[in-house]
């Protein structure tokens, strides 16, 4: 009798940022269900620990702000010390502050650039040495269809995602010889808590502008679970293959 096939993700160590809710949590569940050991990064300790406890497999909650390079370095060292290796990084976490640029607060601009663009850069920098030591691996950067048509009142968010896509293209060439695959996963509208901190007045103005400009379409949304399944597909490809861009949209 043939031996049962071993799952390609079984025992592999994957870091997921923004893993306490939404796409990050759905991705962590999808990876854990396939036998991966998941390091879950987020800023809120209680929410993160509750999220990690909801996984059936081996999960490590690590409290870290990805916009802080010192915190990122410490978090990755903790993950490698705990699991003994690193095989993949999913740069998922992102924030969007809704407002006109002229009204944007300094702290909101800094947060978006720091978390959405510098965060993946800091995390990728920290991931490359252990990925190389493991003989190769994957970096997946999550972007948004807003790079193709930036919404008014979310122009800074779209700009950070545009920068992330450019970074992804450049990084791919830098680490290819190390056996590290770099994939851009671009998502359409999804069911997440992305808008939970938006102020109602600013959100109202934004929705009016989006409706007037034809930005809102009745095309549905993508669930976080679908994005998580996309991450699994990328990570389970044979090593000789690579997905450069996976663009997931509502049907």
Residue 197, pLDDT > 60, answer: yes
Is 56 inside a domain boundary?
A: yes
Residue 20, pLDDT > 80, answer: yes
pLDDT at 4: 45
The number of distinct structural domains making up the chain is 1
Is 4 inside a domain boundary?
A: no
pLDDT at 1: 42
What mean pLDDT do residues 83-98 have?
95
Residue 40, pLDDT > 90, answer: yes
pLDDT at 131: 98
**Better-predicted residue by pLDDT, 7 or 232:** 232
Is 118 inside a domain boundary?
A: yes
Q: What percent of the chain has pLDDT over 90?
A: 73
- State how far the Cα of 29 lies from the Cα of 15, in Å rounded to an integer: 12
- State how far the Cα of 57 lies from the Cα of 3, in Å rounded to an integer: 23
Is 1 inside a domain boundary?
A: no
Residue 192, pLDDT > 80, answer: no
**Better-predicted residue by pLDDT, 14 or 154:** 14
Residue 60, pLDDT > 50, answer: yes
- State how far the Cα of 134 lies from the Cα of 180, in Å rounded to an integer: 10
Task: In the chain, count H helices and then E strands.
Answer: 8, 7
Q: Say whether pTM exceeds 0.75.
A: yes
**Better-predicted residue by pLDDT, 216 or 146:** 146
Domain region containing 70: 13-248
pLDDT at 3: 44
Strands of the sheet containing 59-63, edge to edge, are 59-63, 37-42, 13-17, 88-91, 137-144, 180-187, 245-248
What mean pLDDT do residues 145-166 have?
91
Is 23 inside a domain boundary?
A: yes
DSSP assignment letter at 186: E
- CATH at 234: 3.40.50.720
Catalytic site positions: 157
């Amino acid at each position: 009798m043939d031996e049962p096939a071993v799952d390609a993700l079984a025992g592999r160590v994957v870091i997921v940022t923004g893993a306490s809710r939404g796409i990050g949590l759905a991705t962590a569940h999808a990876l854990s269900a396939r036998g991966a050991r998941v390091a879950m990064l987020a800023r809120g300790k209680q929410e993160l620990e509750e999220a990690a406890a909801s996984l059936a497999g081996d999960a490590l909650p690590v409290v870290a702000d990805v916009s802080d390079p010192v915190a990122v370095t410490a978090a990755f060292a903790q993950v490698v010390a705990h699991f003994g290796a690193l095989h993949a990084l999913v740069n998922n976490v992102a924030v969007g502050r809704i407002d006109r640029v002229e009204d944007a607060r300094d702290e909101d601009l800094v947060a978006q650039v720091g978390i959405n663009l510098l965060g993946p850069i800091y995390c990728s920098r920290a991931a490359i040495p252990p990925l190389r030591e493991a003989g190769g691996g994957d970096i997946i950067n999550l972007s948004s269809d807003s790079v193709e048509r930036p919404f008014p009142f979310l122009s800074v968010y779209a700009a950070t995602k545009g920068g992330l896509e450019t970074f992804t293209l450049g990084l791919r060439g830098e680490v290819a010889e190390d056996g590290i695959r770099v994939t851009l996963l671009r998502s359409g509208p999804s069911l997440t808590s992305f808008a939970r901190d938006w102020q109602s007045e600013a959100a109202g103005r934004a929705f009016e502008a989006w409706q007037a400009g034809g930005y809102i379409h009745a095309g549905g949304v993508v669930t976080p679970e679908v994005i998580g399944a996309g991450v699994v597909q990328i990570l389970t490809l044979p090593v000789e293959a690579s997905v450069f861009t996976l663009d997931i949209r509502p049907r």
